[in-house]
Amino acid sequence: MTDARDAIIVGGGHNGLVTAFYLARAGLRPLVLERREQVGGAAVTEEFFPGFRCSVLAHSSGPLRPEVIRDMQLGKYGLKLITPAVAVTALSPGGRALVFYRDVEKAAQEIGKVSPADASRYREFHEALEKASHAVRKSLALTPPAIDHPSPTDLFRMLELGRLLRASGKTNTYNLLRWTPMAVADLVSEFFQSELVRAATAARGIFGTFLGPWSAGTGLVLLLRAAADANPAGGTLFAAGGMGAITQAMAAAAREAGAEIRTSAEVIKITVSNGGAEGVVLRGGEEIRARIVISNADPKRTLLKLTDPLLLVPSFARKLANYRMFGTVAKVNLALDGLPSFAGVNGNLEALTGRIQVGPEIDYLERAFDDSKYGICSRDPYLEITIPSLSDPSLAPEGRHVMSIFMQYAPYRLKNGSWRDENQRASLGNTVIRTIAQYAPDLPGRIIGQQIISPLDLEEEYGLTGGHIFHGELALDQVFTMRPILDWARYRTPITNLYLCGSGTHPGTGLTGGSGANAAREILRNLKSRPR
């Protein structure tokens, strides 16, 4: 057994690396232990077919918090971010494609070709989203307050939020309070008439969730996304070299700050004595002691698997067992011998550089969700597609391309069969290809290789319990002071010296680094307040 480390971080995903950096910058010497051969978690670039590399899971940034990019100086470590001019191209079965440019005015002009009324309302929607989500944006950087015994700091920050909300005006405050519990389908219908515009703007409210556009609370999910990027169509942010370039730059920054990172080091147990975490045990038997342990794994994996659940009081263990994190997302990566032709794009390659959406109507999205409620893969799925090799040719051989596809909904629990059955995986891949072929008929003939990642693969290969890409459902009862559980939203756990820093904590909204930065700040504050 080694001498005690300052801190051990379980998992080298992006939040774990952000936490490691901030702790190291403050003078600690954290040790990051990553189960896989490379750091990155869900933000990795891998070769999935000879000569073809891809962001095998997350294919677009959250976006990253500007202060994380600044503090870690990620550009110094080779990170080059790519922001296409197009945010989303929404496909329609009628052979029409609607291009949503990042530039709101340019997007409005494109929308005007379909619906002049919606073009005007698109500008209004952007302004309303930006103002209504302003207070939400501020809250994402806060440690959620203690409910029973708020500290003076908690009260001051909540007062600041209240003042910010009041300063935003009556209309914006009203919008925020009313939109939060709404179904996103109702929210966008207040602004738009065209089904294609409604579906394209509503999709951010359901991405990665076990929710449909008519589900209550999807308005909140949209506001959480808008807090990071108020553009109605959302943002598209790639990294040269794939999303793995982000986490590789983070790892380099953390190492230079003083962190140690070990890969192929799987933690199988967090050791606890007298109610406090003392270190970890690796597969193979090595024991490493630490003054504190920080888990970048999801809350269930951390507290119900890596530690003994009997250490938890029954009421807490029961609540955690009921924490919802059954994933509905599958990933399909395709190696193509050339660029497919999409109906309605008319040779406009720029339209294919952002995200491409298949989900032309609100009811289409809802029907896709309906299948998953009964343990069935969507027969007509909602798809988010990128072709990153258009912006970054290094990902594929010259003249060839990579296509990255998020498929929703693919339930973690299937009614009939198992994801271990290759026929289920093949069926999922065929459904995705068939769906895209309705808009790009030549796609099937261009496929020379493919990778299918099921929700079970997300759990077993990438450590995402239940296959949930956000470490738990983003829902009204699982956000802010209730993420993951009411009274335990401050990155601590019931086990002394054991903390959480992953997406199962606030804000938990994807590849932003927010959870890791917030956790590091709270951990350092706790350590500073301890008696010497």
Q: What HEC string does 213-271 produce?
A: CCCCCHHHHHHHHHHHCCCCCCCCCEECCCCHHHHHHHHHHHHHHCCEEECCCCEEEEE
23 within a domain of the structure (yes/no): yes
440 within a domain of the structure (yes/no): no
Question: 422 vs 119, 159, 405, 452, 475, CA distance in Å?
Answer: 46, 55, 19, 10, 32
32 within a domain of the structure (yes/no): yes
> Do 261 and 254 meet the contact criterion of CB atoms below 8 Å apart?
yes
Identify the pLDDT of residue 531: 60
Residues 220, 107 share a domain: yes
Residues 264, 218 share a domain: no
Residues 285, 180 share a domain: no
> Do 242 and 392 meet the contact criterion of CB atoms below 8 Å apart?
yes
- 3 has pLDDT over 80: no
The answer to whether the peptide bond before residue 531 is cis (omega within 30 degrees of 0) is no
> Do 168 and 129 meet the contact criterion of CB atoms below 8 Å apart?
no
Confidence band, pLDDT 50/70/90 cuts, at residue 62: confident
420 within a domain of the structure (yes/no): no
183 within a domain of the structure (yes/no): yes
Query: Of 153-162, 163-172, 365-374, which one has max mean pLDDT?
Result: 365-374
Q: Poorest-confidence range of 41-55, 224-238, 386-400?
A: 224-238
Strand partners, 239: 81
396 within a domain of the structure (yes/no): no
- pLDDT above 70 covers a percentage of the chain that reads 99
234 within a domain of the structure (yes/no): no
Residues 124, 20 share a domain: no
Which of left, alpha, beta for 506 (phi over 0: left; psi -120 to 50: alpha)? beta
Query: Could you tell me the pTM of the whole model?
Result: 0.96
Identify the pLDDT of residue 156: 85
Identify the pLDDT of residue 160: 84
End residue of a domain, out of 203, 228, 253: 228
Q: Tell me the one-letter amino acid at 467.
A: G
Which tokens belong to 155? Answer: 């009260």
More confident of the two residues 91 and 4:
91
Task: Give kind and range of the element (H or E) at residue 294.
Answer: strand 287-295
The total number of structural domains in the chain stands at 2
- 532 has pLDDT over 60: no
Residues 283, 221 share a domain: no
Provide mean pLDDT across the span 153-174: 84
pLDDT tens per residue across span 428-438:
999 999 999 99
Confidence band, pLDDT 50/70/90 cuts, at residue 141: very high
Mean pLDDT (the chain) is 95
* Rg over CA atoms, the chain: 22
Q: What angle do CA 286, 290, 291 make, to 5 degrees?
A: 165
Provide mean pLDDT across the span 185-205: 97
Provide mean pLDDT across the span 371-383: 96
User: Which residue is associated with the tokens 């005690």?
Assistant: 4
Residues 144, 33 share a domain: no
Provide mean pLDDT across the span 84-99: 94
Residues 223, 286 share a domain: no
End residue of a domain, out of 171, 204, 228: 228
Confidence band, pLDDT 50/70/90 cuts, at residue 50: very high
Residues 224, 138 share a domain: yes
Residues 161, 113 share a domain: yes
Residues 224, 141 share a domain: yes
Provide mean pLDDT across the span 151-170: 84
Q: Note down the domain range covering 259.
A: 5-44+243-323+483-529
Confidence band, pLDDT 50/70/90 cuts, at residue 148: confident
333 within a domain of the structure (yes/no): no
More confident of the two residues 114 and 99:
99
CATH of the domain at 301: 3.50.50.60
Residues 282, 253 share a domain: yes
Strand partners, 31: 8, 260
End residue of a domain, out of 228, 254, 280: 228
Provide mean pLDDT across the span 216-244: 94
Identify the pLDDT of residue 391: 95
> Do 154 and 183 meet the contact criterion of CB atoms below 8 Å apart?
no
- 114 has pLDDT over 80: yes
Residues 251, 185 share a domain: no
User: Which residue is associated with the tokens 């869900």?
Assistant: 42
- 2 has pLDDT over 70: no
User: Which residue is associated with the tokens 């409604």?
Assistant: 198
Determine how many CB atoms are found less than 10 A away from the CB of residue 36.
Answer: 18
